[in-house]
Amino acid sequence: MRLYAFTSMYLEGIHAGIQTAHLVSELAVKYTIHPSQREIFHTWAVHHKTIFISNGGYASSLRDRYSRLKEKADLYYLPVAKFHESQDALDGAITAIGIIVPEEFYSRFGAKDDELLKLLTECERAR
């Protein structure tokens, strides 16, 4: 089980990690409320903790990828979230998005959904 996080291209290094930490907090808060995805989040948080952080590009790219990930998350009942910085900090900019997926979605032996696999892997790793 993995968390795939995508951060703003303008926030590299430690800043990509900090934005991903904010994203994990969003997921934690959101999925204590939504029981259908709570078990997936809890299993990831307790037993896996694996995170892939990628360069998500511009804000428009993050919004577009989030929209497509949200469709897949709704279809498969997967935890998905986005994080916006505060108005004071970055004028409310979207800085991170992410989704937690079980191995069947990224398995090298045949992923369950090829379109979702492309969304997860077709980008640069954050530096």
Instruction: Sketch out the chain's domains with CATH numbers.
Output: 2-125 (3.40.1490.10)
Residues 52-79 have pLDDT tens digits of 999 999 999 999 999 999 999 999 999 9
Query: Coil, strand, or helix at residue 9?
Result: coil
Q: Is this model's pTM higher than 0.85 or not?
A: yes
Q: How many CB atoms lie within 10 A of CB 66?
A: 21
Rounded Cα distance, 73 and 67, in Å: 10
Residues 76-123 have pLDDT tens digits of 999 999 999 999 989 999 999 999 999 999 987 888 999 999 999 988
pLDDT score of 36 more than 70: yes
pLDDT for residue 91: 93
Rounded Cα distance, 98 and 81, in Å: 6
DSSP, res 47: I
Contact (CB, 8 A) for 93 and 85: yes
**Which of 42, 39, 56 minimizes the C-alpha distance to 4?**
56
Give the pLDDT mean for 13-29. Answer: 96
pLDDT score of 127 more than 70: no
pLDDT score of 124 more than 90: no
